[in-house]
Amino acid sequence: MESCCSAPERDSAQAHGQVPGTAPAGATGTGESPSHFTLSVPPRRGDSDAADTGAAHRDAAIPAGTFAMGDPFDEGYPADGETPVHEVALDGFRIDTAATTTSAFAAFVDATGYRTESEVYGTSAVFHLAVQAPQKDIIGSAAGTPWWLNVRGASWAHPAGPGSTWTDIPDHPVTQVSHNDALAYCAWAGRALPTEAQWEYAARGGLEQARYPWGGELHGTEPDGSVRHHCNIWQGTFPTQNTVEDGFLTTAPVRSFEPNGYGLHQTSGNVWEWCSDWFLPKYYKSCAAVGTVENPAGPTIGRGRVMRGGSYLCHDSYCNRYRLAARSSNTPDSASGNLGFRTIALA
Ligand SMILES: [Ca+2]
C-alpha cells in the first residue's frame, strides 16, 4: 500500500538502483542479507512508572470492553478496507501512552548490538524536504512517490540521513524501523506490538465513533482566537510547501499535543505506528460476518503489516489517514522516516 505518507516498499527500491541485500559501493551497510537476530542479553521488563528512556515504558490501562471498529463516515479510501464498521470485544490491556522514543531504541541497541534492517541494507526512505545528506548519498526516488528519497546511511540513529543524529531528538519517536526491527525491540523489552483492534480501541480514548481522538473536528480555537492544532500533520501544499502551522515539519516529541481520554498521545499524526496484524483490505468484511469479534488478531496471511495513525505528511488534500479509522500497511522489512511503533505489556 503506497500513499503520500506511506513510504515505498523496500522491494520497490530495486528499480531505483538498490537491490535489497546488496548495498551499493560505499554504502554504510555491509551488503549482507538481513536475518532474524538472536538476543544476546536477557529480555528486560518495562517499568510503567519511569520516563520514556531506556527500556522503560509509561503505559495506560485500557479497560476491557466492546467498541465499533471502522469508519462510520465512509471517508476512507476504498482500497484500505475501513468498512464495514463492526463490533469488537477486547480484554483489558496496557499500552504505551506515547510512541517508542529514539532514546529507548538506543538503549536496546546499546544492550544488544542489534542492527536494524535499514542499517543492513545500507539505505532507507527519507522525505525530500527533510534529507540531511550529501547529494552522493541520495540514491533516487520511488516511482509514483517522488517525495520519498532512498538515502544511503539513513537509519534509526540517522533518521534524515548521515547529517542527522538521534541524539538531537531523544524524545522524538524512533523511525526508520521495520516491523521486524520493532518485534526485535519488543522481544528485548518484554513487550509486544498491539493488534490493530487494540490500537484503534486505545486510540479512540473512550469516544464512540469519533473521527479523531479529541472529537469530530480537526481544528479547535485557541483563547486568542487562532487555530488550535490537535496533532502534527501537514499544512500547506503537499508535497512542496509546508507552512508548519502546527509547529513541526517532521517529527514532534512524543508527548506533544494533548492526550486522549486514556492518556495516549498522538494517535493521530506524527508517525505511523506498526501493529502486529497482517493487512488485508477485506478483513473487516469477514469480521462483520461473524458478529461481535472477540480479541481479533488479524488475518492469518498477508503481504504487509498494518500501520495506524497517519503521520506528519498527512494532508486532507492527498491523504486523510490521520483519522482514527484509517489504515495502511507496508512490507515487514520496509522502513521510513515517518513510521515508528508503540508497545503493549505482555498479557
Ligand atoms: Ca506538521
User: What does the pLDDT look like over 95-144, one tens digit per residue?
Assistant: 999 999 999 999 999 999 999 999 999 999 999 999 999 999 999 998 88
Residue 166 has pLDDT above 70, yes or no: yes
- What is the CA(269)–ligand 1 centre distance, in A? 8
Q: Nearest-CA neighbor of 131 among 109, 103, 110, 150?
A: 150
Residue partners of 290: CB distance under 8 A and separation at least 6: none
Please give the distance, rounded to the nearest whole angstrom, from the Cα atom of residue 313 to the centre of ligand 1.
7
Query: Over the stretch 251-286, which tens digit does the pLDDT of each residue have?
Result: 999 999 999 999 999 999 999 999 999 999 999 999
CATH 3.40.50.300 fits 10-29+85-215+228-345, yes or no: no
8-32 b/e with 16+ CB inside 10 Å = b? bbbebbeebebebeebeeebbbeee
Strand order through the sheet with 86-90: 65-69, 86-90, 293-294
CA distance 347 to 344: 9
Residue 273 CA, ligand 1 centroid: distance in Å: 17
Confidence (pLDDT) at 2: 47
CA of 193 from ligand 1 middle (Å) equals 26
> What's the rounded mean pLDDT across residues 57-65?
96
Q: How far is Cα 243 from Cα 347, in angstroms, rounded to an integer?
A: 43
Q: How far is the CA of 250 from the centre of ligand 1 (A)?
A: 6
How far apart are the CA of 173 and the centre of ligand 1, in A? 14
Contacts 24+ apart (CB under 8 A), 244-251: 248/312, 249/129, 249/130, 249/312, 250/127, 250/130, 250/160, 250/312, 250/337, 250/338, 251/159, 251/169, 251/172, 251/173, 251/175, 251/312, 251/337, 251/338
Asked, as a colleague might, if the bond just before 239 is cis with ω within 30 of 0, I would say: yes
Residue 46 phi, psi (nearest 5)? -70, 160
Task: Report the Cα 346 to chain-centroid distance in Å.
Answer: 20
Calculate how far, in angstroms, residue 234's C-alpha sits from the geometric centre of ligand 1. Answer: 5
Q: Which helix or strand (DSSP H or E) is residue 242 part of?
A: strand 241-242
Q: Dump pLDDT digits (tens) for 172-222.
A: 999 999 999 999 999 999 999 999 999 999 999 999 999 999 999 999 999
DSSP track, 280-294: -TTHHHHHHHHSSEE
Between the CA of 218 and the centroid of ligand 1 the distance, in Å, is 13
> For residue 97, how far is its CA from the centre of ligand 1 (angstroms)?
20
CA of 255 to the centre of ligand 1 (A): 14
Looking at the DSSP bridge assignments, the partners of residue 66 are 89
CA of 101 to the centre of ligand 1 (A): 18
Ligand 1 geometric centre to CA of 325 (Å): 20
Q: Using the mean position of ligand 1's atoms as its centre, give its distance from the Cα of residue 132 in Å.
A: 18
pLDDT of residue 209: 95
Question: Domains of the chain: which residue ranges?
Answer: 10-29+85-215+228-345
Cα–Cα distance, 23 to 122 (Å, whole number) = 6
Q: What pLDDT score was predicted for residue 18?
A: 34
Ligand 1: distance of its center to the CA of 215 in Å? 19
